Amino acid sequence: MATTADGMKIQQGRRSFGKLSGPSLTMIRLPLSFLLLTAIGVQPLQDPEPVGFPVLAGYEYKEGMTLPKEVTNLNEKVVEIRGFMRREFAGSGPVNSFMLINDACGCMGTPMMNEIVFCTLPDGVTMELLTGVVTVTGKLYVGEVKEDGDVILIYAMDADTVTAS
Amino acid sequence: MRLLLLAVVAVPAIAFWPTDPQDPDQVDWAQHVRKACESRRFGIRLAAAKRVANGGDAAIPAIAAYAKDKGQNAIPSSLVDAIADANVYEPKVTALLTTWAKDQTFYWRSSAMRGLALRAGATSNQIERETWGKLFHAYTDDPAWLMRTHARFGAELAGQPNPNQAPERDPRARVRLARLLLDYGKVPSLQPLIDGLADERTFLGIPWGARLGQESSKALNRWLAADFPELTGGNTLESTAAILAAAEKKSGQSLTMPKLQRDPEHGITGGFEIASCKFGDQFVQWSADGTVRFGIDGSRTVKLPADKWQELSQQQTAIALDANAGVVVCDKLQMVLLDAKTRVDIAPESLPTAASDWLKRLAQSLEEANETETAATLRRGLGQFEGR
């Protein structure tokens, strides 16, 4: 158990991740990103754009609708979003993916599809869910994703860092 | 002769023709219910839940069988919410929602109550409305805020508001009821939503005020539609004033401009939240001088005697827990100590003994400070978290 300088007690000595049972993210992920960007020479490393649930969830989502420009403009951008981590399926132990929602308690009712960001950590990286508000940084993908004809998500994120706020 | 021949050929063919796959009586509801409850993908569960909900009465035996096999609380909130929201008003559905709503051990009883409220709003039969009214009145002062809010919503829609219900003290409930009524098309007093716009309060770091602001803004945006003002952002009070003006104009109501609500500086050092769909939420926080605050907004305070508080303070290591405990489905106890940087979630029956004993001593101290009712409420709320 470690205590972060600006956060709460989390279940492992790293600030970004509660409990890493896979490779260390910052040791592998960031140099890889840097190498890719350097090699391709497309863009410099950018500061993540802060995005809030008032924007992501600020409209009435209906399946098949044209999503508002405010959210489609965020597609494939590196963003940071504050919210609460929730398991996609009830259980315990470390996770490789989680839902980021706008509600501290699961008791407020089922979140709407545009009130959930489905976050995935890099392959092999898992962490314990952090309690309280967290900030998640990574590349956001916007658009309906269907499985067997059903929309299963509209916001997905390749999460690079998760920080207890 | 030709017709006779056609009949001879066609009848057996029709007999073996595949049944309409949309025929609710022919659907494998058990499979859809399993998917709605067990799929590991949230989106799949949600889609299956909507399918089950739209099946109406035909799907109910499969839900009942699943609950009997796996336990009532294996039914996820997404399925109950989908059934509540479905535009299907059939007797078996209503009976199931009623059973769920009346079952205090069922986590999602408030969602079931919302489903009943919506169904009560659909009837114009006065006798039925009175029957609904009686059901709702039994829950309009339920300790769980969503439960009583949905019961009040139902009573309103049935035209049977409960004149004896207690004034609502929880700001979340005030906003939610106004939002539900507005979404339904009944314009309530809009003041709770306007107040919600200017709320930035937190409880031990959880920004519940901002959440109310978003809920209020979204509801008013939907209702005002094209009349919703263009907001520049960055100034809460300016935005609130613009929305208030538009809301006054459309509703004809006289609305008061709220003050910006922020946390007062109380020097809070720790506390806990009991989030309980079953028994109601409790919010307790304390400062170093032994002032204990109750309610999400900390509006009720009790000052413990100095010696009692000193004793409790010295024993606070008992609640400086370093890991979550148990599997949280709905009800949870969140313990927060700011100095120790502790924030952990405890599921029912998972509270370590030392922490449980500390919380009992806190309740005992409250009782000795003549806060008998507060102490009893606290004990009731903490009961389900004690380790077994």
Return the pLDDT at B69: 97
Parallel/antiparallel/unpaired status of strands A9-10 and A97-101: unpaired
Question: From CA A73, how far away is CA B6, in angstroms rounded?
Answer: 61
Chain A residues inside the 8 Å CB shell of B82: 110
Contacts (Cβ under 8 Å, ≥6 apart) of A24: A14
Question: From CA B313, how far away is CA B308, in angstroms rounded?
Answer: 9
Q: Which residues in B131-254 belong to E strands, given as ranges?
A: none
Kindly determine whether residue B327 and residue A91, on different chains, have CB atoms separated by under 8 Å.
Answer: yes
Contact of B242 with chain A, judged by CB distance below 8 Å, is answered with no
B205, B217, B329: residue with CB nearest A133: B205
Contact between B278 and B142 (Cβ < 8 Å): no
Q: What pLDDT, in 10s, does the model give residues B357-374?
A: 999 999 999 999 999 999
Residue B386, token pair as written in the block: 């004690």
pLDDT greater than 60 at residue A32:
no
Q: What pLDDT, in 10s, does the model give residues B268-325?
A: 999 999 999 888 999 999 999 999 999 999 999 999 999 999 999 999 899 998 888 8
Among B75, B109, B231, B343, the strongest candidate for a mutation testing the A interface, having the largest count of A CBs within 10 A, is B343
Question: From CA B76, how far away is CA B49, in angstroms rounded?
Answer: 9
Residue B358, token pair as written in the block: 């500390």
Amino acid present at B267: G
Confidence of residue A17 (pLDDT cuts 50, 70, 90): very low
Kindly determine whether residue B41 and residue A152, on different chains, have CB atoms separated by under 8 Å.
Answer: yes
Kindly determine whether residue A147 and residue B275, on different chains, have CB atoms separated by under 8 Å.
Answer: no
pLDDT greater than 90 at residue A38:
no
pTM: 0.85
Q: How many Cβ atoms sit within 10 Å of the Cβ of residue B278?
A: 21
Contact between B383 and B349 (Cβ < 8 Å): no
Q: What pLDDT, in 10s, does the model give residues B68-77?
A: 999 998 999 9
Residue from B329, B300, B303, B211 nearest B261 by CA: B211
Beta bridge partners of A79: A49, A138
pLDDT greater than 70 at residue B20:
no
Contact between A138 and A158 (Cβ < 8 Å): yes
- A–B interface: beta-carbon pairs under 8 A: 109
Confidence of residue B22 (pLDDT cuts 50, 70, 90): low
Helix/strand/coil for B203: strand
Q: How many Cβ atoms sit within 10 Å of the Cβ of residue B321?
A: 21
Contact of B239 with chain A, judged by CB distance below 8 Å, is answered with no
DSSP B83-122: HHHSS---HHHHHHHHHHHH-TT-TTHHHHHHHHHHHHTT
User: CA torsion A85→A86→A88→A89, rounded to 10°?
Assistant: 140
Contact of A8 with chain B, judged by CB distance below 8 Å, is answered with yes
Contact between B109 and B128 (Cβ < 8 Å): no
Residue B113: CA count within 13 A, CB half-sphere: 33
Question: From CA A43, how far away is CA A38, in angstroms rounded?
Answer: 8
Distances in Å between the alpha carbon of B7 and those of A23, A54, A67, B11, B20? Answer: 72, 64, 53, 6, 22
Confidence of residue A45 (pLDDT cuts 50, 70, 90): low
Q: How many Cβ atoms sit within 10 Å of the Cβ of residue B163?
A: 6
Contact of B328 with chain A, judged by CB distance below 8 Å, is answered with yes
Chain B residues inside the 8 Å CB shell of A129: 324
